Amino acid sequence: MTAADDRLAAALEAEHAAIFGYGVVGAHAGGDVALAQAAELAHRGRRDALIVRLTSKGVAVPAAQAVYALPFPVTDQAGALKLAQTLEDRCAAIWRLALPDTTGDERKVALDALIDCATRGTAFRKAAGTTPSTTAFPGQLSSG
Amino acid sequence: MFTVRVRMAADGSSRAAPTSRRAVLAAAGWATTGLATAALGGLAGCDSGGPGPDATPPPDPLLPFLTATVALADQYDAAIAAESSLSARLTPLRDDHRAHVRALAREIGISPPSPSASASAESAPSTVQKLLAAEKDAQKDAEKACLEGPSYRAALLGSIAACRASHQEALR
């Protein structure tokens, strides 16, 4: 397994987790349910594309777990929007890590995903009234 | 959370490439002559003859990208100056661009260029629609730089592209 394959497999695991998380987000998203559903759909699309890509390369595809631990309990719309932001931030970080280890078409896949995660992260911050709604370096976990 | 394996060994923003003393010296000269002449300096650098120990090192390919990033931040300054009611909304976005300028300068190995106040004064007032269009173009530039650039700069440039995309969402 190449470094690129390793990163893409990690991205698939993150997408599995995000899809699980959006099940919880959707249940509590209230008036923002359409936003949550669109986000979940996008993550499902990324997951499916990753499975196809990794399988065609003969790379073992990590399966989704039955249950994922949530970072915090979600009981209302505010919590749902906060979880959605967290899910997008986590996915953005995983996809960003894939950039240096990929080239060509696969780097484009990672870049498109990072861009989508950052855009949705901002959309959820706007919906939650969080300011600022953007960060200078989406996906970067350490400061600087 | 979510038991996702996160491998943080190599965050791509590190400066893996040797930033040579030559590059720093050349860049320092660039910085003192100001942004307006940067492009000309870059062109002149291309005229040097064959590769020799005294040949002028080629300008860092990120320099034009840095110059455009400064201009984008300046465009926000102009918009904020022209329409103070937009300040609260636009200042965080402007600050993101300034953070990009600092990170790009660090990556290239030069001092961050300061905002060009004269450019702000001369610019036509930028509307939100114009900023939106500028962000869209700037995102494309960053994507191109990320995809065509070396791996050690891919994470930095990818984040800048993603930030510019998120700015479009913020401006809508």
For B106-129, the pLDDT digits (tens) are: 999 999 988 776 555 445 556 899
Instruction: With respect to residue B8, please indicate whether it lies within any of the assigned structural domains.
Output: no
Q: Which residue has the higher pLDDT, A9 or B37?
A: A9
User: Could you tell me what percent of chain A has a pLDDT over 70?
Assistant: 98
Residues 6+ apart with CB under 8 A from B78: B119, B120, B121, B123, B124, B125, B126
- Interchain contact A86–B (C-beta under 8 A): yes
* Alpha-carbon gap: B82 to the closest alpha carbon of chain A (Å): 21
Q: At a CB cut-off of 8 Å and minimum separation 6, what does A136 contact?
A: B95, B96, B99, B100, B103, B159, B163
- Note the pLDDT tens digit of each residue in A77-95: 999 999 999 999 999 999 9
Confidence of residue B100 (pLDDT cuts 50, 70, 90): very high
Domain of residue B85, residue span = 63-171
Neighbours of B35 (CB within 10 A): 18
Q: Does B160 touch chain A (CB under 8 A)?
A: yes
> Which stretches within A29-103 are classed as H helix?
33-56, 77-98
CB interface of A with B, residues 38-57, below 8 Å: none
Alpha-carbon gap, residue B5 to A87, rounded angstroms = 14
Picking from A119, A120, A130, A143 by the largest number of B CB atoms within 10 A of its own CB, the best residue to mutate is A119
pTM: 0.82
Of A102, A140, A98, A125, the residue nearest B100 (C-alpha): A140
Phi-psi region of A45 (alpha: psi -120 to 50; beta: other; left: phi over 0): alpha
Put simply, whether B9 touches A (Cβ < 8 Å) is no
Q: Does residue B112 form part of some domain?
A: yes
User: Nearest CA of chain A to the CA of B49: how many Å?
Assistant: 33
Residue A107, chain B, CB below 8 Å: the answer is yes
Instruction: Answer whether residue B21 is part of any domain.
Output: no
- Say if B135 falls within a structural domain: yes
Residue B109 is assigned to a structural domain of this protein? yes
- What is the residue type of A8? L
Instruction: Confirm whether B18 is domain-assigned.
Output: no
Length of chain B: 172
Report CA torsion sign: A123, B14, B107, B147. Answer: negative
Distance from CA of B74 to the nearest CA of A (A): 16
How far is Cα B55 from Cα B104, in angstroms, rounded to an integer?
A: 25
Cβ distance A6 to B7 less than 8 Å, yes or no, reads yes
In a domain, B17, yes or no: no
Residue B35 belongs to a domain: no
Q: How many domains does chain B have?
A: 1
Residues A28-76: tens digit of each pLDDT = 999 999 999 999 999 999 999 999 999 999 999 999 999 999 999 999 9
Give me the residue label for tokens 């669109």: A38
